[in-house]
Structure 1
Amino acid sequence: MSIDWNRRTCARRGHTTYLPHEEHLQAKLHAATALGTAWRCLRCGDFVLGEPGATGPAADAPLVPRGKVLRDLFILRFLAVERAVRGVFIVLAAIAVWQFSNSQDAVRQFFDKNLDAIRPVAVHFHYDLDHSPVVDTIRKTFGYHHSTLVLVAAALLAYALIEIVEAGGLWVAKRWAEYLTVVATAAFLPLEIYELTEKVSGLKVAALVVNILAVLYIAFAKRLFGLRGGRAAFDEERRSASLLEVETSAGMPAPAHNG
C-alpha cells in the first residue's frame, strides 16, 4: 500500500492555497461550488473552500514540497531523531568519562571491594573473575592517565556536537547538513567495520547497516557531490514538484526550437 505523502501532510498541517495574479492560472486553480469559491491546494491538488492563503505573481508562489520531496523529508527527520538520540547518549558518556577521570582511585577501590564480595557467587557458578574479559577491560581503564581520559571526554563531546548539529540541520532539510552527515558518517564506517572484526553483535551490525544506507540514500537522493546531475538537477526536481509550477508550464506555449 503506497502512502499519499501529499494528503498525509495536508491532514497534519493544512492545505496551502495561492491566488496568482495571472488570470489564465486563476481559472485553473479555483472553482465555483454551491458552498462558495474553492481554491486548489498546491500540495495535494484538492479544492479547498474559502479564501486563498496568499496572493501575488505566480513567480512568488510558495515552493511547496510534494510527493517524493515529502517522503525524503520524512526520512531525513527520522535520521535527525536518530542522530539527536545518539548525540545525547554520547554526551552522557563524555560526562561519565570526565567524572571517572576525577575519581579513578575511589572507583578502583569501589570496584575491587565489590569484586571480592561477588567472588563466592562467581565460584559457585564456575565463572573465573580473574580471567574475565569484562573484568580485564575495566581494570585496564584504571591504568589510563588523567590527561588521557580528559582527551577522551573532549573527543566524545566533539563527536556529540557533530551529531547534534547534523540532527538540527537534517530536521530543517539543510543541504550543508546532508553533506556533513554523509562525510561524517562515512568517515566512521571503517572504525565500525574494525569493531565488528573484534566482536560481532546485533547492535553493531544494525548500526553499520543503518549508517551505510543513510550515506547511500542521502548522497543519491539529494544528488550530492554532483551525483545524478548535482545541485542543478535537485533544484529543478523540486521546482517541477510544485503544482503551481506545473500549472504555469501548462499555461505557457512550448518553447521554439532553433534550427
Structure 2
Amino acid sequence: MDWNRRACARRGHETYAPDEPALRARLHATTPVGEAWRCLRCGDYVLGEVKGRGPAGDAPVVMRGRALRDVLILRFLSIERAARGVLILLAAYAVWRFSNSQDSVRRLFEDDLTAFRPVAEHFHYDLDHSPIVDSIRKTFDYKRSTLIWVAIGMVVYAVVEIVEAVGLWYLKRWAEYLTVVATAAFLPLEGYEMREHVSWFKVGTLVLNILAVVYIIVAKRLFGVRGGAEAFERERHSESLLEIDEAIHPGPPRQPWEEQVHTTKPPSARTT
C-alpha cells in the first residue's frame, strides 16, 4: 500500500512554497494549464494555488510512509481504549446502583432463580451447585462500602483509559508513555485471571495488550529504546520531502512534463 497517496486521497495534498530560490524551483513547475507545486507527502505535482509560503525551516513536517502506518495503528488502539473506558464506566454505574439496592436485587434474584428451577431440572442442571450462581450470591454478601470503593476504582481506571484514547488519537507522546505504563501494570493481573479461568476473550485481550506495549516501545522509541526521543524526531524530520531535497541537491528543476501532474481535466496538448 502506498501510504502517502492514501493519505493525500483522504486529506488532500500538502504543498509549500519556500522562500529559498533553488529549493522553490525544485518544488514548482509551470504547465500549459497553470502552475503546479510538488506535494510534500506523496511527491507528485499538483495543479492549483500553493497552501503555504515562507522559509523552508517553517515548512510543516508532513508524516510520510511508515509514520502514516503508525498513525493508523495508534488510532485503532485509541478506539479500543475509548470503547473499553465507556464499558468500564457503565459497569461502575451498575455496581454503584447495585450497592444502593443490594437487598432488593438479592430478593429479585432468588425469586427468578426459583421460577427457573423447573427448567434447570428438566435439563439436569444443578442450580444449587452452579459456579455462576455461587459467584452471584457471593456478591450479595459484600459490604456496601466495599462495592462503592470498587465502583470508584473502576471510574478511575475508565478515566485513565479515556485519557489514553484522546492522547493516542492526537498522537501525543505522553499518551504513548501512559499507555505503556498503564497497560504493563495490569498485565500481571490479567495473567492471574488466566489461571482462574481461561477464555478466548481473555486470551485475545492479553495478547493485544502485550503486542501494544511492545509495538509502542519499539516503534516510538520510548524509554531510550533505539536512540530514544531524539532519534525518533530525527527519523521523523528526515522523511520530510523538503529536507530530502535540500540534502540530495538534485540539480536543476525538472520540466513539468517530466513529472506526474494531478488535474481534474487533462490538458488538450503539451508543449516542449
Quickly name the TM-score band, shorter chain normalised: over 0.9
Shift in Å, 1:240 = 0.5
From 167, 170, 173, the counterpart of 2:171: 173
Question: CA–CA distance in 2 between the matches of 1:145 and 1:59?
Answer: 63
**Higher RCO, Cα 8 Å, sep 6+:** 2
Match of 2:44 in 1: 46
**Deviation by residue 1:193-214 (Cα, 9 ceiling, x = unmatched):** 1111111100000000100000
Shift of the alpha carbon at 1:250? Answer: 2.3
Q: How does 1:120-159 map to 2 (within 5 A)?
A: 120-159=118-157
In the alignment, residue 239 of structure 2 is paired with which amino acid? Answer: A
Query: SS in structure 2 opposite 1:233?
Result: helix
* Residue-by-residue CA offset, 1:232-253 (whole Å, 9 max, x unaligned): 000000000111111122239x
CA RMSD of aligned residues (A): 0.9
Cα distance in 2 between the residues matched to 1:207 and 1:38 = 49
Aligned to 2:183: 185
Aligned to 1:80: 78
Please say if 1:213 is aligned against 2:211: yes
**Match for residue 95 of structure 1 among 93, 96, 101:** 93
Q: TM-score, normalised by structure 1?
A: 0.95
Report the counterpart of residue 243 of structure 1 in structure 2: 241
Q: What 5-or-longer segments of structure 1 have no aligned partner?
A: 253-259
Question: After TM superposition, where is structure 1 displaced by more than 6 Å over at least 4 residues in a row?
Answer: none
- 1:113 pairs with 2:111: yes
1:180 & 1:245 partners in 2: Cα distance? 32
Contact 1:58–1:248, Cα closer than 8 Å, also in 2: no
Q: Which runs of 5+ in 2 are unaligned?
A: 251-272
Q: Distance in 2 between matches of 1:71 and 1:248?
A: 25
Counterpart of 1:34 in structure 2 is 32
Equivalent position of 2:11 in the other structure: 13
Residues in 2 aligned to 1:50 and 1:251: alpha-carbon distance in whole angstroms: 25
SS of structure 2 residue aligned to 1:16: coil
Q: Which residue of 2 aligns with 1:24?
A: 22
Residues 81-131 of structure 1 show CA distances to partners (whole Å, capped at 9, x for unaligned) of 000000000000000000000000000000000000010111111000000
* 1:59 matched residue in structure 2: 57
CA contact (8 A) 1:189 1:208 kept: yes
Conservation of the 8 A alpha-carbon contact between 1:69 and 1:238: yes
Deviations 1:39-65 (A, max 9, x none): 000001010001110100000000111
Q: How does 1:220-259 map to 2 (within 5 A)?
A: 220-251=218-249
Render the CA deviation track for 1:117-163: whole Å, top value 9, x for unaligned.
01011111100000000000000000000000000000000000000
Identical columns (%): 66
Residue 50 of structure 2 aligns to a residue whose secondary structure is coil
State the distance in 1 between where 2:98 and 2:243 align: 59
- Work out the CA distance in 2 between the residues paired with 1:249 and 1:53: 23
User: Match of 1:42, SS?
Assistant: coil
| SS at 1:91 equivalent | helix
Report if aligned partners of 1:24, 1:251 keep a CA contact under 8 Å in 2. Answer: no
AA partner of residue 103 (structure 1): S
User: 1:256 is matched with which residue?
Assistant: none
Asked if 2 retains the 8 angstrom alpha-carbon contact of 1:7 and 1:44, the reply is yes
- Aligned residue number for residue 192 of structure 2: 194
